[in-house]
Chain A
């Protein structure tokens, strides 16, 4: 190492004559090294293969490094999110029961007694989960007043799935702050930690701030996504028929609007769904049945207010100004169906 260091130094002095003449070099002893020695190549090659054989470095938590400051990181997390967490609440929200169990066993082995002065986040998780579920559904019902309850539940499940919450948690940087037995923390642990943080926010700042947090971090995950991707409608034609009957329109009639290449493998059909001689929706596909089903879905989009060109969901100032009625519940799709369809 020392040799290579000298080499860099000597190169530097060669190029910078002003420094060389300034008298700065008087105290530095420089040995000039020219070229590379013959043994360099074999040595570095051996190092290289030794590294390859050893395999990649195991992933270590950030806290394994000596300059880790847990308190500072916890404080920084609150500051990043611009939320006034109490330090104890945030620490508690990120402490899992598995970590406490592990610590207890460790202390027992070291004969330090089994008392650990830590509280786990079970309560906060429960609190946060209930609060998130309640608010997400209320927000969705407010934004999609015509969407059936089944759709609301599907979107809400999608938004609150462990994978989604874990992704959000990872992105706000709680992975290294979580105290749990396993590393890296599992999806379930990450998701629970985020829920616990929301529960902590409700406890510290009240539900109003927590609602904004849920809106900003969880509901925004819907941006650019299609509701029909989160909610699969079974038998769309039957549902459409029931909706039409409920609204007292005439019978549904499917008509072929366009077809091309009927005799080829790339055949394309466009089918329109009509009722009372009015076009309800149109869909395309490689066969007539697929095109008809897509047309029914297209018509349902209009009825349920989930068209692809509608205005975006309210977030930021618009979102924070919303007045949401938490007691409101949308109509269920079962209300539309006739008794024979329910069986």
Chain B
């Protein structure tokens, strides 16, 4: 009997996943995360079956959004009340507490490949890269590196 008891325990265990949101489109990440929250990746899934997992999304302030969406995007959470309004996009920059990180057991694969920025290459790698032409002496190069946050 004991075997079937622990088998049941393991089957219905709530797993803890981590998702790294660095350079990830939130709209394309959502389906991947929802699947785990609803438990649709499990063979025992059923709409009435409480088999969803936990997902911890880290680095959410480094998400990648198309165009000017960072500034213009609004969630449609309007309640219809007089003073209600759609909230702006808001990300949490605080670190994830340790007691939550201890629960983690797996990682959800990122939906987009993280591109490598020009500033991540070393000077040697840049020098070795084949160039089609040489820049004129008086050419001023554009700044390469992470932009400073707006005040």
Contact = CB atoms under 8 A, between A and B. Distances in A.
Q: Do A and B bind each other?
A: yes
B9 A260 contact: no
Nearest to B12: A266
B131 interface: no
Interface in B93-151: 99-100, 102-106
Contacts of B2: 228, 294, 297
Interface residues of A, number: 21
B101 to A, nearest CB: 9
A133 interface: no
A176 B99 CA distance: 66
A264 B14 CA distance: 10
B13 interface: yes
Interface in A96-129: none
B103 A284 contact: no
A260 B16 contact: yes
Given A284-B6, A294-B3, A294-B6, A262 B13 contact: no
A270 B10 CA distance: 8
A292 B89 CA distance: 47
The main secondary structure of chain A at its interface with chain B is mixed
A297 B3 contact: yes
Nearest to A293: B2
A284 B102 contact: no
A164 interface: no
A260 B3 contact: no
Contacts of A290: 6
B60 interface: no
A229 B2 CA distance: 8
A263 interface: yes
Interface string A125-161: 0000000000000000000000000000000000000
A162 interface: no
B13 A268 contact: yes
Interface string A233-266: 0000000000000000000000000111111101
A50 to B, nearest CB: 47
Contact of A229 (B1, B6, B100, B102): B1
Interface residues of B, number: 20
A204 interface: no
A286 interface: yes
A260 B6 contact: no
Contacts of A291: 6
A228 B103 contact: no
Interface string B1-34: 1111011011001111000000000000000000
A338 to B, nearest CB: 25
A272 interface: no
A262 B102 contact: yes
Nearest to B8: A284
A228 B10 contact: no
Nearest to A291: B6
A199 interface: no
Nearest to B4: A226
Given A226-B3, A229-B1, A294-B3, A261 B103 contact: yes
A266 B14 contact: yes
A214 to B, nearest CB: 27
A290 B54 CA distance: 24
A283 interface: yes
A185 interface: no
- The 3 lowest CB-CB distance pairs between A and B, nearest first, are A260-B105, A268-B13, A284-B10
Interface of A: 226, 228-229, 258-264, 266, 268, 270, 283-286, 290-291, 294, 297
Interface of B: 1-4, 6-7, 9-10, 13-16, 54, 99-100, 102-106
21 contacts: A226-B4, A260-B104, A260-B105, A261-B14, A261-B15, A261-B54, A261-B103, A261-B105, A262-B102, A263-B100, A263-B102, A264-B103, A266-B13, A266-B14, A268-B13, A270-B10, A284-B9, A285-B9, A286-B6, A290-B6, A297-B2
Given A260-B15, A284-B10, A297-B2, 14 more contacts: A226-B3, A259-B105, A260-B14, A261-B15, A261-B105, A263-B102, A264-B14, A266-B14, A283-B6, A284-B6, A285-B9, A286-B6, A286-B9, A290-B6
